[in-house]
A and B are shown apart, each in its own frame.
Chain A
Amino acid sequence: MPGQGETEEDHEQQKSKKPADTAFKQQRLPAWQPIITANTALPVFLIIGLTFIPIGIVLVITSERVLEHDIDYTDTNCMSTTAANTTCAQALENANYTGQTCTCRINFALDKSFDGDVYFYYGLINYYQNHRRYVRSRDDNQLLGKEGAAASECQPFQKNSTGSGKDYAPCGAIANSKFNDTLSLLYGSENVSVTNVGIAWSTDKAVKFKNPDNASNYFTSTHDKPPNWKVTAWELDESTSENNGYQNEDFIVWMRTAAMPTFRKLYRKLLRNSTFQNGLPKGDYTLVVTYNYPVTSFAGRKQFIISTTSWMGGKNPFLGWSYIAVGIVCMITFVVFFILHKTWKINNPFTYQMASIQNNQRITTT
């Protein structure tokens, strides 16, 4: 390091302190300096407009083709078959929500045939599955079938502290509030064939939810069923033995907490055999409801939804209309600025020339 009192010869013999002369260190990196001019911006708007509007039209048409039929069966539609002049909602309330059940039959007609695959959903309104305390009230280790006590996040649905002291399986508020209405469809007098296989996320069923060893003993004796459940997890599906415990697909679907307070969940899929080979034919149907799930106390509503799908998904024209709207905005911008650009060019020919010369020069570094 050159210090005081050194001679010039010593100075030259020292290593040079000059910083490295690379493009990066000397701020000489070649660069593209984009200057947005009329010649570059106007085509952008034109292209966006010309691509978005057709895309939007296709999306809107696709969405219009999806057929959907909703039946709200919360109260007035669903009259109890046993008690006279009472809705099922009323019947549950009268019994003080002590696990009373109620059945009702709702007649409706499909005025168009639903061709192709048909999906049956139950919908809930004003139901906040996205509430923070609710979302965290689960134990994912327990759902993997692992040994150990239920997590404390499940409280107050962690264990049966007032009764047997056993842990709830499954624990937590999400599991406890599992939807337990049964909905089935009759076409005239014929049962509409449905399946409950393949309604959950395949990754959930394969990886996240596993039954513990010795499951029957686990669910029926060493652990309690959640307080609001009518049966234990091992008895959820009498007809298919693999669809029980944590692997029950209705349970898995329920455990995926919905994003919004109005949501639907996949309940069943149409099994396309005999009469229903091409879908749901047009005609009269009856919805048979076993009404177990009380929602009126918090002004919630329940729906049964029949829907086909398109190559995109369910019925939602929003995306299509947005594409059209943005496309139109771009086209209007293009037209307006094109006119402005041309008139300015006519009125100020010299300035326009100078500006375009300057703009077209790429300012690169040497």
Chain B
Amino acid sequence: VSPKQKAEVVELIKRSTDDITLAVGDGANDVGMIQTAHVGVGIMGREGVQAACASDYTIGQFRFLTKLLFVHGVWSYRRLCKVLLYSFYKNICLYVMELWFAFHNGFSGQILFERWTIAIYNVLFTAAPPMALGLLDRCCSAETMMRFPAMYKMSQNRSDFNIKVFWTWCLNAVYHSIILYFMSYAMLRHDVVHSNGIVFGSHLFLGNCVYTYVIFVVCLKAGLESDSWTFLTHIAIWGSIASWFLFFIIYSNIWPTIPLAPEMRGMAKYVFSSLYFWLGLLLIPITALLADFIYNW
């Protein structure tokens, strides 16, 4: 059978059905079909490396194909879906709060959080949890997946990422942002949150409290969605939260030594010395995640 004929067979299947095709081969004459199929798997070995070079995935022996599909295929599908949905969720959760704040600042466009803390949100504070979800999450062990090949079906019927799932996550994000913002707003409305009568007077104070609660909720949500917690997952979640606290403390002390963020000077000291902040930290993230916890249960 010539390479062209092999490719044409794959093409025929692709055109006459809606199915996703996979082609596996090990020789130079398989290159055509590997490239035509949706997923091309090449075997690296006796007959050379052309097939491997042209493929999307390379394995060492034909028998590894089952593990590639039933274990890594399913894991990969579930991980990708989680990472996608989570990325939308965490951004919607934070930035929709600017809309809620707009109701209170006359729609003037004033942002609730300081501009660099917003910029670093995706880069540092919430970068690790989606990576942990995407690299390490396992719905079931490899042995279980190989023993029950029928479980492959769960990655084949669009169950993890479809319109309904997507909008549910978006609405969940909005729900969380409402709870996080309005509870913090109500908690801090009267301005005096220290026993020495000082007024906290700054939208950034409210902003930093809310931001801390958001980081907690968003990171813990990643944990809730995670099917398997490795030690790296722990580091990703608790480490992200710790990195925010560390950044907050450092960033609140750099003006005027470094000509940056004058409005943040002293913020960490006053936020951490306010019992309202800590009591809110206990209450508000738990309130936000209660519904998610019940749903997952």
Q: Which residue numbers of A lie inside 8 Å of B, CB to CB?
A: 1-4, 17-18, 24, 27-34, 36-37, 41, 44, 48, 52, 55, 59, 117, 119, 121, 128, 130-135, 140-141, 144, 198-204, 207-208, 253, 256-266, 269, 307, 309-316, 318-319, 322-323, 326, 329-330, 333, 363-366
Residues of B within 8 A of A309 (CB): 192, 194-197
Residues of B within 8 A of A333 (CB): 294
CB–CB A135/B110 < 8 A: yes
Interface stretch, picked from B81-89, B119-127, B137-145, B155-163, is: B137-145
Residues of B within 8 A of A133 (CB): 108
CB–CB B279/A59 < 8 A: yes
Q: Which residue numbers of B lie inside 8 Å of A, CB to CB?
A: 44-45, 48-49, 60, 72, 75, 104-106, 108-111, 136, 138, 140-144, 183, 185-203, 205-206, 227-233, 255-256, 259, 262-263, 265-266, 269-270, 274-276, 279-280, 283, 286-287, 290, 293-294, 296-297
CB–CB B108/A313 < 8 A: no
A265 to B192, CA, bound (A): 9
User: Of A36, A135, A258, A311, which one neighbours B195 at CB under 8 angstroms?
Assistant: A311
User: Of A29, A208, A259, which one neighbours B201 at CB under 8 angstroms?
Assistant: A259
CB–CB B203/A31 < 8 A: no
A67 to B146, CA, bound (A): 69
Q: Say how far B85's CB is from chain A's closest CB, in angstroms.
A: 19
Residues of A within 8 A of B183 (CB): 322
CB–CB A319/B202 < 8 A: no
Task: Please give me the residue from chain B that is nearest to A135 by CB atom.
Answer: B110
Q: Say how far A19's CB is from chain B's closest CB, in angstroms.
A: 10
For the complex of A and B, 8 pairs with smallest distance between CB atoms: A203-B266, A314-B192, A31-B228, A256-B201, A119-B197, A140-B262, A132-B110, A259-B203
Q: Say how far A310's CB is from chain B's closest CB, in angstroms.
A: 7
User: Of A34, A132, A199, A201, which one neighbours B229 at CB under 8 angstroms?
Assistant: A34
Which residue, of B49, B143, B196, has the highest number of chain A Cβ atoms within 10 A?
Answer: B196
CB–CB B108/A33 < 8 A: no
A269 to B255, CA, bound (A): 29
CB–CB A253/B228 < 8 A: no
CB–CB B193/A312 < 8 A: yes
User: Of B108, B194, B259, which one neighbours A131 at CB under 8 angstroms?
Assistant: B108
Q: Say how far A220's CB is from chain B's closest CB, in angstroms.
A: 25
CB–CB B230/A31 < 8 A: yes
CB–CB A131/B105 < 8 A: yes
Q: Say how far B131's CB is from chain A's closest CB, in angstroms.
A: 13
CB–CB B106/A128 < 8 A: yes
CB–CB A17/B44 < 8 A: yes
Given the known A-B contacts A3-B48, A34-B229, A261-B104, are A201 and B190 also in contact in the complex, defined by CB atoms under 8 Å? no
Residues of B within 8 A of A257 (CB): 201-203
Task: Please give me the residue from chain B that is nearest to A140 by CB atom.
Answer: B262
Residues of B within 8 A of A366 (CB): 143
CB–CB A131/B110 < 8 A: yes
CB–CB A132/B194 < 8 A: no
CB–CB B279/A266 < 8 A: no
Q: Say how far A270's CB is from chain B's closest CB, in angstroms.
A: 10
A307 to B293, CA, bound (A): 41
Q: Say how far B246's CB is from chain A's closest CB, in angstroms.
A: 19
Residues of A within 8 A of B231 (CB): 29-30
Residues of A within 8 A of B105 (CB): 128, 130-132, 261
Given the known A-B contacts A121-B199, A199-B198, A259-B205, are A307 and B49 also in contact in the complex, defined by CB atoms under 8 Å? no
Given the known A-B contacts A259-B202, A314-B193, are A18 and B276 also in contact in the complex, defined by CB atoms under 8 Å? no
Given contacts A117-B197, A263-B201, 13 further A-B contacts (CB under 8 A): A3-B48, A36-B296, A130-B110, A131-B105, A208-B256, A257-B203, A259-B191, A259-B205, A261-B104, A313-B192, A319-B283, A322-B186, A363-B141
CB–CB A269/B197 < 8 A: yes
Can you give 6 A-B contacts (C-beta < 8 A)? A29-B230, A33-B229, A258-B199, A259-B200, A319-B279, A326-B287
A17 to B44, CA, bound (A): 10
User: Of A36, A55, A258, which one neighbours B293 at CB under 8 angstroms?
Assistant: A36
Residues of A within 8 A of B196 (CB): 117, 198, 309
Q: Say how far A285's CB is from chain B's closest CB, in angstroms.
A: 19
CB–CB B262/A266 < 8 A: no
CB–CB B191/A2 < 8 A: no
Q: Say how far B44's CB is from chain A's closest CB, in angstroms.
A: 7
Which residue, of B60, B191, B259, has the highest number of chain A Cβ atoms within 10 A?
Answer: B191
Task: Please give me the residue from chain B that is nearest to A66 by CB atom.
Answer: B192
Residues of B within 8 A of A41 (CB): 293-294, 297
CB–CB A1/B49 < 8 A: yes
A4 to B53, CA, bound (A): 14
User: Of A24, A48, A207, A316, which one neighbours B190 at CB under 8 angstroms?
Assistant: A316
Given the known A-B contacts A201-B270, A363-B140, are A261 and B195 also in contact in the complex, defined by CB atoms under 8 Å? no
Task: Please give me the residue from chain B that is nearest to A11 by CB atom.
Answer: B46
Residues of A within 8 A of B48 (CB): 2-4
A33 to B293, CA, bound (A): 15
Given the known A-B contacts A4-B48, A201-B270, A319-B276, are A253 and B199 also in contact in the complex, defined by CB atoms under 8 Å? yes
CB–CB B290/A330 < 8 A: yes
User: Of A18, A31, A37, A119, which one neighbours B138 at CB under 8 angstroms?
Assistant: A31
